[in-house]
């Protein structure tokens, strides 16, 4: 056991914050890409990976749904992080000194009102934590970063304004991945089962496959489609349902799903987080 949890991004990223929140006792291991974070777990360099899958404002995270089925890892938990954005400046800078703010384009778009109100111009950076690092290294009082409070702590920046996001409910959902599956019943808010599947090439296959969940009273909280290998004719579906595969109604629904599909793969069985409620 390494007692490490891998994430994509630089120290201070929101994925790093998710690691701190969900696994404060573990060492957070920054990785350049999502693939690198997954490989860190597969190779044994880390025990877990923290991967963002969707954001309440911007939808699903690109590429994640295609990476998960081939990752060889299993979802063991979900975590939610409120995206609270801070304006971070070099030591001694004041809000009135700031003429430019640097961050990932998504965060820049989430602070339009604040930036316009203060006449601050936007600079697109590679990511949030990386922007904080660059602002710290440049040492210019006129340039600030939009990032997490954690990034400010790590890179020695002053808090010039906090919680400046336009949408106060902006939240990112993360999945905690492990080499080993854990299908034990746990948690106080029920279980979630996540799986992917492809439907058979027959008329109304998706409609029939979904019918089993409706008739057996299984609540499907997510259903998304994405192309397989860049083909417009091959589509894979990603789904979350409430319940455990051993539940009688879930088992019946999955059996019916299996009849109308060519491939069903369960990615994880894990407790629903309290933030869902």
Query: Where in the sequence numbering do the catalytic residues fall?
Result: 172, 174
Strand pairing partners for 271?
191
Rounded to a whole number, what is the distance in angstroms from the first to the last CA of the chain?
Answer: 33
Taking the C-alpha atoms of residue 60 and residue 269, their distance in angstroms, rounded to an integer, is 20
The two beta strands, 27-31 and 4-8, are: parallel
CB 235 within 8 A of CB 226: yes
Which is nearest to 163 in space by CA: 182, 148, 144, 142? 148
Which is nearest to 177 in space by CA: 10, 25, 89, 52? 52
Strand pairing partners for 197?
237, 264
Helix ranges (DSSP H) in the chain: 14-22, 34-43, 64-71, 105-109, 112-117, 128-138, 149-155, 205-215, 248-259
Residues 6+ apart with CB under 8 A from 196: 65, 68, 69, 236, 237, 238, 239, 263, 264, 265, 267
């Amino acid at each position: 056991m390494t007692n490490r949890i891998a994430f994509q991004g630089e120290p201070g990223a929101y994925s790093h914050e998710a690691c701190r929140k969900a696994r404060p006792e573990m060492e957070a291991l920054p990785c350049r890409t999502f693939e690198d974070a997954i490989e860190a777990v597969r190779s044994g360099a880390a025990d877990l990976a923290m991967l963002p899958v969707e954001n309440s404002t911007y939808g699903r995270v690109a590429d994640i749904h295609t990476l998960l089925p081939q990752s060889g890892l299993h979802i063991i938990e979900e975590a939610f992080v409120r995206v609270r954005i801070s304006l971070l400046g070099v030591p001694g800078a004041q809000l009135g000194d700031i003429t430019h703010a640097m961050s990932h384009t998504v965060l820049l778009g989430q602070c339009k009102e604040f930036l316009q109100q203060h006449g601050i111009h936007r600079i697109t950076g590679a990511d949030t934590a990386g922007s904080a690092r660059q602002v710290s290294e440049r040492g210019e009082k006129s340039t600030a970063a939009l990032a997490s409070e954690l990034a400010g702590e790590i890179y020695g920046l002053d808090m010039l304004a906090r919680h400046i996001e336009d949408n106060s409910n902006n939240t990112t959902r993360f999945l905690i991945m492990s080499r080993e599956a854990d299908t034990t019943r746990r948690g106080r808010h029920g279980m979630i089962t996540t799986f992917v599947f492809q439907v058979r090439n027959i008329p109304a296959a998706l409609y029939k496959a979904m019918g089993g969940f409706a008739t057996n009273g299984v609540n499907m909280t997510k259903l998304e489609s994405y192309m397989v290998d860049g083909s417009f004719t091959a589509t894979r579906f990603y789904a979350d349902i409430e319940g455990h595969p051993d539940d009688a109604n879930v088992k019946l629904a999955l059996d019916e799903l299996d009849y109308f599909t060519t491939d069903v793969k369960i990615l994880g069985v894990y407790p629903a987080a309290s933030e869902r409620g």
